[in-house]
Amino acid sequence: MDIFGSDYRIQRVVNRHGGAQKVVYKIECTNGFVCMLYIWDMASNYFQEEIEAEPEDERSFGSGRFEANHAFLCQHGIRTPALYYLNKERHRYAFDYAVVEYVDGQDAAHYLNSDAETYQIVFERIGSMLGHMHGLESPTYGRIQDKGRSNDCCYLKELADAKLSLSYAAAYISEIETKQEKLLNQLNELAARIGSRQRYSFIHGELGPDHVMVNEKLEPYVIDIEGCLFYDLEYEHSFLEFRFGDAYAYLRSSRLDHNRMLFYKMFHHLSCTEGGLKLLHRGFPNQQLAREIVEHNYRSALTFIDRSL
């Protein structure tokens, strides 16, 4: 590999399938060195249509977001794989790419079924890491590199998006279609209960167990960081709660607003239903996973009907 010198020759390249927004390869060299290659190629993005329709400053895709968030996380002592090289010139290739540290270990999902002692160590450390990250605050919300971040009500954007997700899901899932009006009424009611806010936390934005790598020393690293931003803390925690299951007990925060938690939880279930459907429709390699995402989330969204708030 030219970026490291003549002693680094590629021996094996493994496509790490599963990513919906970037292509990831594990690269093994003849001298034993291992690293990761990230490629941001819009042609390989399963949500290309949605990204291209978004304003530039609202996109959570691309090397620019990755570079800025990586620098910010490292500056504040939050573990994320080291960035060895980033190329945004597009002289030789029509996409941006980065060479990144390989974390030798498993993602946090692997530890959900580990022995009690290891389980406690791993998720306490993840909770500590998130507590530190979420403790970074701003009076405005948005991406860290955006010059004019907003202090308006950020949940209103998610309300509009949730309505679009609901409409999309209703076109393909009969149970959603027949109960669409009730779901919409509940969504509006949840949003109407949210009060004002002046402080926003730095969040990952899509933090499931598969977005935390744990090395052999049981040290957690946050990955897939393009979507990090200052935002409502409840946006993160409502997602953590259903993605981490029982392990969420180690990640809880005492700073959460009940009404925001309910609203964002319903939002996530509708958004994930739509996202899973689009993965199914657009040829995502792991069709079984996509079906599971749809099934779990649309049924979870339906539980909000007539729910006591």
Q: Which two tokens stand for residue 214?
A: 């744990």
309 residues of the chain, pLDDT tens digit each? 678 888 899 999 998 865 666 889 999 999 999 999 999 987 766 666 665 666 555 555 578 999 999 999 999 999 999 999 999 988 788 789 999 999 999 999 999 999 999 999 999 999 999 999 999 999 999 999 876 667 678 999 999 999 999 999 999 999 999 999 999 999 999 999 999 898 999 999 999 999 999 999 999 999 999 999 999 999 999 999 999 999 999 999 999 999 999 999 999 999 999 999 998 998 888 899 999 999 999 999 999 997 766
pLDDT at residue 90, rounded to an integer: 80
CA 12 to chain centre: 29
35 within 8 A of 86, measured Cβ to Cβ? no
CA-CA distance, 53 to 5, in Å (whole number)?
Answer: 41
Q: Which residues make Cβ contacts (< 8 Å) with residue 257, sequence separation at least 6?
A: 194, 195, 197, 234
Q: Which residues make Cβ contacts (< 8 Å) with residue 67, sequence separation at least 6?
A: 83, 86
225 within 8 A of 78, measured Cβ to Cβ? no
Sign (positive/negative) of CA torsion 27, 28, 31, 33?
positive
Q: Please tell me the pTM assigned to this model.
A: 0.90
Largest CA distance in the chain: 65
Backbone angles phi, psi at 278, to 5 degrees: -70, -35
Query: What's the topology of domain 10-101?
Result: Phosphorylase Kinase; domain 1 (3.30.200)
Whole-number Cα distances in Å, 42 to 18, 271, 284: 16, 21, 15
- 10-101 and 105-302: same fold? no
CA-CA distance, 287 to 173, in Å (whole number)?
Answer: 17
Q: Which two tokens stand for residue 285?
A: 């390699």
Q: Where are the domains positioned within the chain? A: 10-101, 105-302
CATH of 105-302, one of 3.90.1200.10, 3.40.1710.10, 3.10.20.30, 3.90.76.10: 3.90.1200.10
Q: Are strands 229-231 and 200-203 parallel, antiparallel or unpaired?
A: antiparallel
CA-CA distance, 3 to 256, in Å (whole number)?
Answer: 45
Q: Which residues make Cβ contacts (< 8 Å) with residue 89, sequence separation at least 6?
A: none
